[in-house]
Structure 1
Amino acid sequence: MAEVVRDREQLFERIVPLGADRRLIGIAGPPGAGKSTLAGWLEARVTERFGADPQLVAQVPMDGFHLRNAVLAERGLRDRKGAPETFDRDGFAGLLRRARTATGEITAPAYSRELHEPVADAHRIPASVRLIISEGNYLLLPDDGWARVGESLDEIWYLNVSWAVTRQRLIDRQIAGGRTPEAAAAWVDGNDKRNTDLVAASAARATVIVEL
């Protein structure tokens, strides 16, 4: 049974001290749970503790592996954007595997909420990095593609947040992205709710359940 952690400092203590071998930590959870916020806090906490020179921590987020909108349109998936099948799972798993043993600098993509497209080479991972944080909804899914992603990580933490909280965050995000309140709620209650239920069903596979 997964350990339950309710304090961010306990999460920090799970990854220190940083050793000679790189560690890859995944943060999974439903859309809007605060995964990127937790990843950013952990990155800042490592830098606060150990300094920024050399760089010891970097991120490889799942969202950088969104398929481009043109590809989604070709595959008839435009209205399912954000679902598991709308990501380049093989590319994601492959980069994580390379990141574990790379002896030189590599880069990872990010997702632009302004462009609504992935942006290549947004995250630098120099050879000095000892901790890589990868956050995303589907890191715990058991199907073949996502299982390869999960197997590339040393631990996966599940960020547990109620639907009532994430729903409002997601609606606000959609409105900020240009949708009307009505269209935002319809998207969230349809697409995001389906994805949330799918992610929640995989929570038991996590190393740690995080309840902040």
Structure 2
Amino acid sequence: MSDARLDFNTLYTRHTREAWSALGEYMPVSVSEEEARALQGLNDYLSLEEVQDIYIPLIRFLTLHVFAEKQKNQHVNAFLNYPHHAKIPFLIGIAGSVAVGKSTTARIIETLLSRLGDGLKVSLVTTDGFLYPQKELKDRGLMEKKGFPESYDVKALLSFLNELKSGKQTVHAPVYSHLTYDRLEGVYETVEDADIVIIEGINVLQSPALDDLKDEPRVFVSDFFDFSIYVDAAETQIQSWYKERFRLLRETAFQDPESFFHQYKDLTDEEADHMASTIWNTVNRPNLYQNILPTKYRADLILKKGDRHKVEEIAIRRV
């Protein structure tokens, strides 16, 4: 029997950093150096050069999809004689490993899209808020699997996305605290009348655990996306960034008595690196290879990072 496996590399066109930066036309949208520093993650790196060479062309590319989708919806609704005038937001999913820089990518895309001058209202939601509360994770024996598909309230996330795509004007998402490492009880963020909603999280391209849906129809989070991005890097690079971030958190957030990780505030550099490596090897690495990395080729666009979080290659799914 012949091997029916796909060569996924043929599904994408690949662009070097230099080639990508030359694509498209001038776009009058920018951020200042101070704004770039504010948007970058704790140990991420977002220079003005990165914004200009990578993210400005990406915004040009995304707007092609945003306005094409809007026009398509108008034509389809007219054909069906469907008097549906509610605003249906364009949904962008951003996936990738822990510590790869998804949040920085999501924030700079949100900022640039909102400055296009077309009156676009852009919202950003992270899926961390859809993690089960700490108590429920403990009751289910999932504390060591936090971040794995089974640790998320998939039904609530799907319901949230369905409300967005159904044209509901005001939708609420639960909020997560990275300080207490738990969902904030009774606290929600509001997405109201948005043109574009960015959904960022390690799980956004994953299939839900079958036990979560039982006999219900198999609907995936990614089914709601109009465009998806995977932020990629070599595992050795991501692990290094994770260890750097752990050290920085030890000196900052972990010092807060309210921090879930307050017990690590006095670790030496060597002890911090050992703890970070242990967490990486027992939780983050298995999750990366079992659940996150296998979804990479479901994305419409892949940002491949190298040293200092600089994007080296952009892969785009063939039309």
The unaligned stretches of length 5 or more in structure 2 are 1-10, 18-53, 71-86, 213-217, 255-260, 305-310, 312-319
How far does the alpha carbon of each residue in 1:17-68 deviate from its partner, in whole angstroms, 9 at most, with x for none?
A: 65464200101111111111111001111222238xx670002211111111
1:44-59 matches, cutoff 5 A: 44-50=111-117, 56-59=121-124
Aligned in 2, Cα 1:201/1:122: closer, same or farther, shift over 3 Å? same
1:1-212 matches, cutoff 5 A: 1-4=11-14, 7-16=54-63, 18=67, 19=70, 21-50=88-117, 56-119=121-184, 121-127=187-193, 129-143=194-208, 148-175=220-247, 176=249, 177=254, 178=261, 179=264, 180=267, 181=272, 182-198=274-290, 199-211=292-304, 212=311
- Determine which structure has more spread, i.e. the larger CA radius of gyration: 2
Aligned residues: 209
Could you say what secondary structure the match of 2:115 adopts?
A: helix
Structure 1 distance, partners of 2:55, 2:243, is 26
Relative contact order (C-alpha < 8 Å, sep 6+): which is higher? 1
Aligned in 2, Cα 1:183/1:27: closer, same or farther, shift over 3 Å? same
Give 1:14's aligned amino acid.
F
Match of 2:32 in 1: none
Q: Contact between 2:94 and 2:106, CA under 8 Å: does it hold in 1?
A: yes
Could you say what secondary structure the match of 1:141 adopts?
A: coil
Structure 1 distance, partners of 2:187, 2:57, is 31
Aligned in 2, Cα 1:3/1:139: closer, same or farther, shift over 3 Å? farther
Structure 2 distance, partners of 1:104, 1:131, is 13
- Sequence identity percentage: 22
Structure 1 distance, partners of 2:158, 2:14, is 27
1:123 positional shift: 2.9
Instruction: Return structure 1 stretches of 4+ with deviation > 6 angstroms.
Output: none
Structure 1 distance, partners of 2:108, 2:148, is 26
Structure 1 distance, partners of 2:12, 2:164, is 26
How far does the alpha carbon of each residue in 1:107-135 deviate from its partner, in whole angstroms, 9 at most, with x for none?
A: 222321112112355432112x1000001
Aligned in 2, Cα 1:207/1:55: closer, same or farther, shift over 3 Å? closer
Structure 2 distance, partners of 1:131, 1:3, is 25
Give 1:44's aligned amino acid.
T
RMSD across aligned C-alpha pairs, in angstroms? 2.4
Structure 1 distance, partners of 2:231, 2:128, is 16
Structure 1 distance, partners of 2:133, 2:168, is 30
Moved more, 115-124 or 84-93: 115-124
The unaligned stretches of length 5 or more in structure 1 are none
How far does the alpha carbon of each residue in 1:44-99 deviate from its partner, in whole angstroms, 9 at most, with x for none?
A: 11222238xx6700022111111111001101111221212111111111101101
Could you say what secondary structure the match of 1:50 adopts?
A: coil
